Structure 1
Amino acid sequence: MAQEKKITVQRTIDAPTEDVFEVLTNPERHPDLDGSGFVRSVDNADRIQSVGEVFTMNMSGDHMGGDYQTDNHVTAYSENKMVGWKTAPAGTEPPGWEWLWELAPEGRDHTLVTHTYDWSDVTDEALLEKIDFPLVTQENLEDTLGRLAAAVSN
């Protein structure tokens, strides 16, 4: 049986969908949301507004030998519904993993947030040997949703 190559978590957040989307599309907020501890700060980013945009983040992790940067290529954007990006080492094309956020209103003041980390498109054998996917655990993603809930309530 093939191993699942994605992790999906969900949480209902006590905030309107627009407020959740506002936080997710602002890369300046991403270090506060990151449950993995890899995201340090924004290097170059405006508010996400469309597919095809790229924003750069300062990162740190043992899997990359310390500090590094990523370019995040926006792959999904639907206002107040969905935002997603594929991450790549800065200056390179994405090797295949993606972060996707899907939002569904549950009444006026609650939003069901579905967050997916998907590495099913990673096919580079050398990369698969170097990086032990998943780099980010289900617990990290659940922590990220908790951080998102806190961020929209402030």
Structure 2
Amino acid sequence: MSETSISATRVIDAPAEDIFEVLSLPAKHPQVDGSGTVVSGTDQRIQQTGDVFVMNMHAEAMGGDYKMENHVTGFDPNKLIAWKPCQEGTPIEHNGWEWMYELQPQGPDSTQVTLTYAWSDVHPKLLKKVSFPAFPESVLEESLENLAAAVSDK
């Protein structure tokens, strides 16, 4: 763990294409989420850097139900997908944390997946309100376990 990010890595018994197919469809994110905060997402597939997708969320610490606009910051089919969440109605520059999945094929039916949660660009006002990391490394590990299950259910 660095001072501004945490990561977890797991080898998943599936081709990178199958894993990327799950990650690029926000409607599948509730199955993958290890934090228990993602309720639902759009059926519109992420296609490129700059896309924005909305997720319905729930967390008591956030006052219950809320929406997040996720701005895609990295997109390389079957290799990388990353986004910065932003609570609906809040300027993106006020958040600054990012989720990133990196996929490295380990053969035709096996892929090493690294999930990174980074907060190096978090606005100072938010740092005063929220203690980072907001999620422990175990949430990332659970997300990767859930991703493996979601891909096998495909």
Same-fold call, TM cutoff 0.5: yes
Q: TM-score, normalised by structure 2?
A: 0.93
Q: Point out 4+ residue stretches in structure 1 off by more than 6 angstroms.
A: none
Q: CA deviation at 1:62?
A: 2.4
Match of 1:96 in 2: 96
Structure 2 unaligned residues grouped into runs of 5+? none
What does 1:114-125 align with in structure 2 at a 5 Å threshold? 114-124=114-124
Out of 84, 87, 92, the residue aligned to residue 85 of structure 2 is 87
Q: TM-score, normalised by structure 1?
A: 0.93
Match of 2:142 in 1: 143
What does 1:11-90 align with in structure 2 at a 5 Å threshold? 11-42=10-41, 44=42, 46-90=44-88
Q: CA deviation at 1:137?
A: 1.1
Moved more, 62-71 or 32-41: 62-71
1:7 paired to 2:6: yes
Aligned-residue CA RMSD (Å)? 1.2
The amino acid across from 2:15 in the alignment is P
Q: CA deviation at 1:45?
A: 5.0
CA contact (8 A) 1:97 1:122 kept: yes
- Mapped to 2, the partners of 1:111 and 1:16 lie a distance apart of 6
Q: CA deviation at 1:93?
A: 2.6
| Structure 1 residues 76-117: Cα deviation after superposition (integer angstroms, max 9, x where no partner) | 000110000000011333220000000000010000001000
- Mapped to 2, the partners of 1:132 and 1:38 lie a distance apart of 17
The amino acid across from 2:84 in the alignment is K
SS of equivalent to 1:148: helix
Structure 1 vs Structure 2: percent identity of aligned residues? 52
Aligned residues: 150
